[in-house]
Amino acid sequence: MAAPGLRRRALGARFRALTQEIFMPFTLATWNINSVRLRAPLVERLLGEEAPDVLCLQECKSPVEKIPLETFRALGYGHLVARGQKGYNGVAILSKLPLRDAGDRDFAGLGHARHVAAELENGVTIHNFYVPAGGDVPDREVNEKFGQKLDYLAEMRDWFRSDRPGKSILVGDLNIAPREDDVWSHKKLLKVVSHTPQEVAALGDTQEAGHWVDVTRKDIPEGQLYSWWSYRARDWDAADKGRRLDHVWATPDIAGAGHSSRILRAARGWEKPSDHAPVFATFDL
């Protein structure tokens, strides 16, 4: 039998080990960067100023081998799981924490680099998505791209239905603003691709199939919330005609650990910006 003092210290160590095991908070951000090579300085600025543990990028528009990993590694981000192609699409997960490549899927058979998954050492899987934008006309009979977007979402839905995810986070540019307060004008955008009832229903089916919790809206349930402002506006900030296209979802087993969601609107005003702002969430896991 150990002396009372020793026993107390041993319990203290066990308590510390236990609490550390339970509370290992990590912060995650998702950002459509619109060319990771052109905007490598902006990525560096975000990593330097905000220091998320994990940064998921979309629209890298670069083959994986041309992503400037060494500049990011110098800031402590030595781990990369990515898929790329020349000129279009491309998704990357950049991390301070070790990652295991957990594969990718080619939904709707497009042959595009629009999904990649990685697993953290705590067993959490991160899915990074770039859902097709869907073209201009919300009618698959006259616009093939709109059909591809709906097919992409349907195949995501079917996958989550057949293989229900657990301990998972899904982020990315989903190219749909589902709620009325996710767009600057619900009424004016009802026939605009990204906010049509058909797309909102498709996204809802995909979310429901995986029992995904919208972590951003769990944290910020009220009010207008945007993550994208068009380049075409004369003054994006004053006009504020935004949409919430970028999302952070989590499975119910870990969604309760998510908190401190925010959108870094300021990044939309940086020099030569992306048209998207980064979305953040922290998970105590």
Confirm whether 205 is a catalytic residue: no
Do 56 and 91 touch, CB atoms closer than 8 A? yes
CB of residue 92 to DNA, shortest distance in Å: 14
Residue 173 among the catalytic residues = yes
Our finding on whether 68 is near DNA (CB under 7 A) is no
Q: Give the chain's end-to-end CA distance (angstroms, integer).
A: 34
Closest CA to 130 of 100, 170, 164: 170
Among 7, 8, 86, 186, binds DNA (CB under 7 A): 86
d(CA 174, CA 132): 8
Closest by alpha carbon to 57, among 120, 137, 116? Answer: 116
- Hey, what amino acid is at 110? L
Contact of 270 with 42, CB cutoff 8 Å: yes
CB 36 within 8 A of CB 69: no
Identify residues 207-236 at the interface with DNA (CB under 7 A). Answer: 230-232
**From 15-23, 127-135, 198-206, 250-258, span contacting DNA (CB under 7 A):** 127-135
Q: Is 195 a catalytic residue?
A: no
Q: Do the Cβ atoms of 207 and 179 come closer than 8 Å?
A: no
CB of 227 to DNA, least distance (A): 13
In the complex with DNA, which residue's Cβ is closer, 163 or 234? 234
Q: Does 37 bind DNA (CB under 7 A)?
A: yes
* Catalytic residue, candidates 112, 115, 130, 226: 130
Residue of 145, 167, 262, 265 that binds DNA (CB under 7 A):
145
CB of 9 to DNA, least distance (A): 57
In terms of DSSP bridges, do strands 99-101 and 115-120 run parallel, antiparallel, or are they unpaired? antiparallel
Among 46, 52, 61, 178, binds DNA (CB under 7 A): 61
By beta-carbon proximity to DNA, the closer residue of 46 and 120 is 46
133: contact with DNA by CB under 7 A = yes
> φ and ψ at 173, to 5 degrees?
-85, 100
Measured from the Cβ of residue 75, the count of other Cβ atoms closer than 10 Å reads 15
The C-alpha angle with vertex 103 and arms to 88 and 38, in degrees rounded to 5, equals: 30
Min separation Cβ 17 and DNA, Å = 46
**55, 77 contact by CB (below 8 A):** yes
By CB under 7 A, name the one of 7, 9, 14, 272 that touches DNA: 272
Catalytic residue among 173, 182, 214, 246: 173
User: Binding site for Mg(2+): residue ranges?
Assistant: 34, 59, 173, 175, 275-276
- Which residues form the catalytic set? 130, 173, 276
User: Binding site: residue ranges?
Assistant: 34, 59, 173, 175, 275-276
Contact residues for DNA, defined by CB under 7 A = 34-35, 37-38, 61, 86-88, 132-135, 145, 175, 230-232, 272
